[in-house]
Amino acid sequence: MASLLSPELLENIGKTSPPRLELVTRKDIRKYAIATQQRERRFLDGDEAPPMFYLALFWPVPENDQLSPDGVAIDPLLPEFPLKRAMAGGLKIDYHRAIHPGDVLQATRELSAIYQKDGSSGTLIFYEILMRVVNERGEPVVTEKTTRILR
């Protein structure tokens, strides 16, 4: 099947977002722990963040003109894809260090891959976003690879 991926589209591979710096607070950890129904005291007291807390810490904070009508933040890292309908994707997360209140963490995101697969049900486009979270010493804290599928 013909490629849906133009050279211009593929040029976006390697594109990165500006680094984001965030301070971890005990209050934010506690709110996350309650929202996710944690039962471990260390999480509920905010002494340590539940593993996926990083996702809330670095969720985008879009300004009003960056919100689409369905309430989703427009991701400036993503190009216009020829397929629009998003299917379920997957995550691969590596946890290098625990997160504690007072930590100052930095996240960078990279559009690390775009590829096409042709199957019996048609053509699918896959893209991957790699997020690296490091601490103030530059040590890795979390590495997350998200794969999204478009059809």
Partner 1 sequence: MSAVAVPDIALLEPGQELPVREFAADTTHLFLYNAVLWNAHRIHFDHPYATQVEGYPGLVMAGPQLGDWLHQCVTEWLGDRGRLQSVEYSNRRAAFVGDTLRSTGRVVAVDRENRQVTVAVSILNQNDEVLAPGTIVASIYG
Q: Which residues would be at the binding site for partner 1 (CB under 8 A)? A: 28, 31-32, 34-40, 50-52, 55-56, 59-61, 67, 70-73, 88-95, 98
Report in angstroms how near the CB of residue 30 gets to partner 1 at its nearest.
10
CB 55 within 8 A of CB 133: no
Report in angstroms how near the CB of residue 61 gets to partner 1 at its nearest.
6
Report in angstroms how near the CB of residue 70 gets to partner 1 at its nearest.
5
- Nearest residue to 22 (alpha-carbon basis) of 52, 50, 61: 61
**Closer to partner 1 by Cβ: residue 14 or 60:** 60
What is the distance between the alpha carbons of residues 97 and 65, in angstroms, rounded to a whole number?
36
**Closer to partner 1 by Cβ: residue 7 or 69:** 69
**Closer to partner 1 by Cβ: residue 34 or 104:** 34
